[in-house]
Amino acid sequence: MDLVDAAGFEALEAGSADEAILLLEARPDIHLVFTDVEMPGTMDGLKLSHYIRGRWPLVKLILASGKMIINESHLPANARFFSKPYQEGMIVGAMIALLSDGPAP
């Protein structure tokens, strides 16, 4: 969350995929979800990202994992994946590009 706040965005935190869905239902002003693939709840971050893409197709998606590499073919359309450890500047650049609909860095 510090990374997101430092980049000038408002960060909301969800402890699970279920909480993230509740936030998305309550807050139509959410434009980007940054999730870890490994997370508690009824679905992991990858399943959450596919659920979000189906229900909120305009929400931008960034996924990260320190334990696995996700092939682009397994990601929802236009989602970005970063393996950990990642450079914070790359995440911020991806957020800015996705939110401005510009090319991904």
**pLDDT tens per residue, range 60-94:** 999 999 888 888 889 998 899 999 888 888 989 99
pTM, rounded to two decimals:
0.88
Supply φ then ψ for residue 77, to 5 degrees: -55, 135
CA–CA separation, 61 and 78 (whole Å): 8
Is pLDDT above 90 for 21? Answer: yes
Q: Residue 7 — pLDDT band, cuts 50, 70, 90?
A: confident
Domains located in the chain, CATH noted: 2-99 (3.40.50.2300)
